[in-house]
Amino acid sequence: MSSLQRRLVGHWFAPAPILNLAVVRLVLVSMELICLLVPFIAWKVGACNGCSVGYQMILTRIDPSDYLPLPALKVLMLPFGPWGIRPEPMFLRAVWLLAVVTGVTSLLGLYTRLSLSALAATTTLLTAHSYSYGEYHHPEALLTIALWTLVLCPSGSALSLDSMQTRLHIATYGKRFVPLRTVSRESEMAGWPLRLIQWCLALAYFSAGISKLINGGLAWFNGYTLARMIGEDAVERGSALGVWFATQIPLLIVLAMLTVAIELTFFLGVLFPILTPLYVFLGTGMHVGIYVLQRAPFPQLVALYVVFIETFRRQFGAFFQRGRPAPRWAAIYDELCPRCRRTMVFLDSMDWRKRLTFIESEGQWPHASAAAPSRIPDRSPQTLFVIGPDGTIYRDFFGFRKLTGLLPPLWPLWPVLHCPGFRRLGPWIYRLLSDDSAGHVCPAELTGRRVVSGDVPV
């Protein structure tokens, strides 16, 4: 393999954290869902006209002679009729509904690949339909490509119900609980999707920059060009700041040069990670500025900057981690009990702030008892012990109640469980729920427990 080949393979297929891919999935799918569910952003702001079902209904009333279906729409409509068929209103409503449902399941990571495929197909269809009447806009194109890209990669391998289901399966039938932080979470297939989207962004910016040089020439930098463009949009769409900016010729000359410089050299931010934060900052500023001055929205492009997450994690991750060394808590569980292992899977998946250490009581008992200077009172099977940094022991309900303050998804339960009366009621409910899952209770003989007596610390 030549040096160039090695560098190319390293650029595209270097092992990368699958967590990054999952975060990209969450951000991009959220962006798409916002467009689908908030008509104000989709239609009035203009971020994604085609995402609004009301706008789609208007399109269906346009004269058929104005219908010029894009190839993307023709391909997606092929299973439903002849080449070039125009979608019916009811069909578009169903597609929009499917987009919302699959958007939610994609966000949750439930049947992730299937959900993402359906989300990508439906949003492509809706947007392509909105552009099949002679009017085109640009905000959605790259996000659409990015969604299709996520279909082909393991974006559901983390932060998803799919991954939790896999871990639960292992915990139940594999008879072991493996905390997330102890397993390798990198894959050679996790980096290329982000690289691809980064290069698509760089190409899009380069297109914008080179078009200005070719179509506008040097006159594009005379200040009057931006004065006219910003002024016209600002007057039409009601931006007072834009109207003021359109009168600042020297400032507009600088702004024009900065804009084209960012657009033409954005690819440097992809090639040289040290420059990435600068270009992300400048690009975000450019889009925010365009919106504030001209009311032209490109939120999807800003959302797409999440594909630079790895660079930010490497450059700034240590800085944030150094800031708050959080005290660790310990959760002691019964390794031989499948239900306990499953519970640990849930707790582990909710431990976003990495505050918990998991200790299994059977094999790591010395470790477990050492975690609590005041000594754990017994070693009952199927008992949850939560031990604070100061060695205080909380058992069963009281352990769970402590966890509601530690694990962000459980935070809403914290005030409820601290209501007056829950000190008595809570243990009863906890026992009731445990007994409810009596079918999952793991008697020692079924799980192969060594019955220990006499050495239980009191």
Partner 1 sequence: MRLGKIVATLYCGAVLSLQSYAIFSTTSYNNWYWPFVNYPMYSSSFHAGESFLRVELRAVPCDSPGDVFRLTEDDLHLKWRHFIMLVHKSATVRRADLDTELQPGSEPTTEALLHFIATYVPRHVCRVQVWRQRYTIGPGGLELPGQPWEIAQEWVLTLPGSGGVSVDTTGHKP
Contact residues for partner 1 (CB under 8 A)? 12-13, 49, 58-59, 61-62, 66, 70-72, 124, 127-128, 131, 133-136, 138, 140-142, 144-145, 149, 152-153, 188-189, 192, 195-196, 199-200, 203-208, 210-212, 214-217, 219-220, 222-225, 227-232, 235-236, 243, 246-249, 252
Of 62 and 419, the one with the shorter C-beta distance to partner 1 is 62
Give strand pairing partners of 333: 360
Q: Report in angstroms how near the CB of residue 375 gets to partner 1 at its nearest.
A: 49
Of 220 and 279, the one with the shorter C-beta distance to partner 1 is 220
CA 24 to chain centre: 5
Q: Report in angstroms how near the CB of residue 304 gets to partner 1 at its nearest.
A: 13
Round to whole Å and give the CA distance between 162 and 263. 39
Q: Report in angstroms how near the CB of residue 423 gets to partner 1 at its nearest.
A: 54
Rg (Cα) of the chain, in Å, rounded? 28
Q: Report in angstroms how near the CB of residue 124 gets to partner 1 at its nearest.
A: 7
Of 9 and 274, the one with the shorter C-beta distance to partner 1 is 9
Of 140 and 334, the one with the shorter C-beta distance to partner 1 is 140
Q: Report in angstroms how near the CB of residue 11 gets to partner 1 at its nearest.
A: 11
Q: Report in angstroms how near the CB of residue 361 gets to partner 1 at its nearest.
A: 38
Q: Report in angstroms how near the CB of residue 366 gets to partner 1 at its nearest.
A: 40
Of 268 and 413, the one with the shorter C-beta distance to partner 1 is 268
Of 114 and 413, the one with the shorter C-beta distance to partner 1 is 114
Q: Report in angstroms how near the CB of residue 424 gets to partner 1 at its nearest.
A: 56
Of 169 and 237, the one with the shorter C-beta distance to partner 1 is 237
Q: Report in angstroms how near the CB of residue 273 gets to partner 1 at its nearest.
A: 19
Of 195 and 449, the one with the shorter C-beta distance to partner 1 is 195
Residues, the chain, total? 458
Of 191 and 381, the one with the shorter C-beta distance to partner 1 is 191
